[in-house]
Amino acid sequence: MKRIFITFFAALFTLTTVNAQWLDALKKVATEVVDQATDGQLTQLAVIGNWTYSAPTVKLQGDDTLSNLGSTALTSTLESKLVSAFAKVGISEGFCSVTFNADGTFSMPVKSKSLTGTYTYNNTDHSLTMLVGQSGKIDLKGYAYISGESLQLVFPINKFTQLLTTLGSSVSALSSVTSLVKQYENIYLGLSFNRVVAE
C-alpha cells in the first residue's frame, strides 16, 4: 500500500498538462496522504534541501476555543504582526532561507546573520529540533510540515521568541505578538518556505 502511494506521489510531480492550481492542490493532498501512509517518513526525507522564506505562518491545534470563526481573525492578525516583527531582524522574501542537509546539519542565513548547527527530525510527531552553534547551546524545538512544495516551520511561543532574539530582535519588539497569544496554549508561530528548485 505504501509503495502505491509513493508511486502515485512521484507520478504526480511529473504531470505537465494539468492546470497549475489543480496540480498544486493535488500535491498538497498527495503529500499529506503519503506522509500518513509512511508514518511521517516522507517529511523526514523531503525536508532535506534548500528552502527560501515566503511568509509568516500560524498553526492552531486542538483547542475548542480556537476552532470557531474567531480563529481565522486571530490567525490573520498574528500573521500581520509577524511581518513587522520579522522585518526587524531581516526576515523577508529574498533575505532569509534555510538548508537542511542529509548529514543532519542546517544553515539559516538571515540578511547579515546566519544560524548554523545540527537538527533532528522525529517522524512520529513531526517535531524538528535545531541545535544552534557548535555546542548546541541554543535548542529550538519546533515542528515541520510539508505541503506540496511548501515547508512550514512552527514553534511554541517561547521557542519562537528565542529564535527571533537569537537573530537580534528584542523581547519588547515582540510584545504585540506575545500579548495576543499568551492566553492560548496551542498556537504555534513560524515561517513558511518554498523549495528552491535547482536549475
pLDDT above 70 (res 147): yes
Instruction: Pick 15 or 114 by higher pLDDT.
Output: 114
Instruction: Give the residue with greater pLDDT, 89 vs 29.
Output: 89
- Alpha carbon 7 to its chain's center: 26
**Gap between the Cα atoms of 183 and 97, Å rounded:** 31
Averaged over 127-137, what is the pLDDT? 85
Q: What confidence tens digit (pLDDT) does each residue in 169-178 have? A: 766 667 777 7
- The pLDDT score that the predictor gives to residue 35 is 60
Q: Whole-angstrom Cα distance, residue 197 to residue 195? A: 6
The pLDDT of residue 38 is above 80: no
Range 118-134 burial, b when 16+ CB lie within 10 A, else e = bbebeeeebebbbbbee
% of the chain beyond a pLDDT of 70: 69
Nearest to 50 by CA among 102, 126, 125, 121: 102
What is the mean pLDDT of the segment spanning 151-159?
Answer: 91
* pTM assigned to the model: 0.75
Domain ranges of the chain: 2-38, 48-195
pLDDT of residue 133: 83
d(CA 122, CA 147): 17
* Contact between residue 152 and residue 190 where contact means Cβ atoms under 8 Å apart: yes
156 backbone dihedrals φ, ψ, rounded to 5°? -65, 160
Environment class of 60 (CB within 10 Å of its CB; exposed 0-12, middle 13-18, buried 19+): middle
What is the reported pLDDT for 102? 95
CATH class for the region spanning 48-195: mainly beta
- Identify the band that residue 183 occupies on the pLDDT scale cut at 50, 70 and 90: low
Residue labelled with grid coordinates 537538527: 119
Choice between 158 and 98, residue whose per-residue pLDDT is larger: 98
Mean pLDDT of 88-110: 93
pLDDT tier, 191 (very low <50, low <70, confident <90, very high otherwise): very high
> What is the C-alpha to C-alpha distance for residues 80 and 57, in angstroms, rounded to an integer?
10
